[in-house]
Amino acid sequence: MLSAPKGEPPPLYQQFQASAPALGARVSTPDGDGRVVGHSVPRDAVVVRMDADGSRCTCSRASVCGSRQSYEERYRS
């Protein structure tokens, strides 16, 4: 297992934090729009509170990141 210098988060957490939407960020998910209310680093996912009904769903980080959404919109058949 990789370790980080004392006082720094492990590399997995640093990579996740660098590319995941921030807490409170507005995102679009496959289930609709919502706001990020949590992160699940080991699952590489974000927890989103849906605008429509206030329910929470867990979505992969890739499915809510802008670059992935742009790619899918461009190349969706």
pLDDT tens profile 20-76: 889 999 998 888 899 999 999 999 999 999 999 999 999 998 888 655 555 555 555
Domain segments of the chain as ranges: 21-75
What's the predicted TM-score (pTM) here?
0.71
Instruction: Compute and round to an integer the Cα radius of gyration of the chain.
Output: 14
Report whether pLDDT(3) > 70.
no
CATH class of 21-75: mainly beta
Calpha distance 56→1 (Å, rounded): 32
